[in-house]
Structure 1
């Protein structure tokens, strides 16, 4: 296994609307999923018309959802045409977010290990199995979707909704960076080692081990990303120092 995967599909899906939820709320939830999973990369622009065609909705709920995500830091307005794009992120900001994530996500993993239920454990295991399949079949989209699903299911199991909301806000910023990281040699094998450790810790109901596995996953991913961002910033003439 060489640890490399390739993207093949559009990250957006035609909407299948649920009763009781507004179109804007469901469009917003879809955009959040795409951003947090890393299905869009930093700097990628979003076209209202293209999104409307893919999702099967008018541009109005799309525009409102994008505006909401802009206020949350998940998107930014760029250029004279004022198009929405996924924000770029510098090495300094990455380091700050990493330091916050290790505290919050470590806390959530620790709490989850003591509160996990069998049904939740099955879903987390399924996400892990799908990531393994994605690495074997070189399917970036399947990996990215289930990487976020794996982490979010763990944090949901902590039963701390305020904590979960803060973590999700951070993933809006860092999720798109995951797509950059998975192209680095050895990154996926390393990440899956930590995912396996987190899964085993949850099965054993070991809070300390669960926390440690998640923290190591975040720290090592940030180290890989810093190398990528340093190269990008040097190439653009910017410095993170």
Structure 2
């Protein structure tokens, strides 16, 4: 993939809750489970920023539900390590990971996601390839117009479509738990020069490996994507 000469993506002031709306009710699903799933997806997709406080009442207002299911969902997310209590008032916020935590998560992700991808490669047929390619195309478009939100949404979609094809629910749950912790940080990596181009090169290599049914190449592409993102995150975090 040829690198572009476009500038890195830039963040503009935004309301982290702007992309969330009223809960879509589902038969057989509790309000708590829906709130939990909605906020889990928002964390994975990088809607929030490291250190950002999460207001119980704000969440209830945006999701148009009572505070009780929101409170229980936030407790679950805190138990997952996706939120932490901070300060004397014990407010909930998005954790700020240390360099050591980031490196450890990177190393675990390389192993788990590489394994999930190789387990999935022989299970992905033409219908699945079409939706994976669609996610790739939308990431490419987001790269061209420097749309951070569009990129993040389809970045997770691209990876999750591959990993879910492995049909390993416990493994997928572990991968999602790690993405909840790094999702808010991935947004920061996108402001680094050439990050989008390098990331798309890894995604392109992964797509080609899927097409060629080459598990070693796929594993390498996934590892490259994770490692380069972690390097850019470390650089972003080191800036004053």
Normalising by structure 2, what TM-score?
0.92
Tell me if 1:172 matches 2:188.
Answer: no
Residue of structure 1 equivalent to 2:194: 186
Structure 2 residue matching 1:84: 3-state secondary structure: strand
Given that residues 74 and 172 in structure 1 are in contact (C-alpha distance below 8 angstroms), is that contact kept between their aligned partners in structure 2?
yes
Deviation, 1:5, is 4.5
- Gap runs ≥5 in structure 1: 236-241
Residues 1-241 of structure 1 aligned to structure 2 (within 5 Å): 1-6=6-11, 10-231=18-239, 235=240
- Gap runs ≥5 in structure 2: 1-5
The separation in 2 between residues aligned to 1:168 and 1:26, in whole angstroms, is 16
Given that residues 77 and 85 in structure 1 are in contact (C-alpha distance below 8 angstroms), is that contact kept between their aligned partners in structure 2?
yes
The separation in 2 between residues aligned to 1:109 and 1:216, in whole angstroms, is 13
The separation in 2 between residues aligned to 1:202 and 1:229, in whole angstroms, is 33
Normalising by structure 1, what TM-score?
0.92
Q: Render the CA deviation track for 1:48-104: whole Å, top value 9, x for unaligned.
A: 221112111111111110000000100011122222110000101111111111111
Q: CA RMSD in A?
A: 1.4
The separation in 1 between residues aligned to 2:62 and 2:176, in whole angstroms, is 25
Given that residues 3 and 189 in structure 1 are in contact (C-alpha distance below 8 angstroms), is that contact kept between their aligned partners in structure 2?
no
Given that residues 46 and 85 in structure 1 are in contact (C-alpha distance below 8 angstroms), is that contact kept between their aligned partners in structure 2?
yes
Residue of structure 1 equivalent to 2:3: none
Deviation, 1:13, is 2.6
Given that residues 112 and 207 in structure 1 are in contact (C-alpha distance below 8 angstroms), is that contact kept between their aligned partners in structure 2?
no
How many residues align? The count is 232
Structure 2 residue matching 1:46: 3-state secondary structure: coil
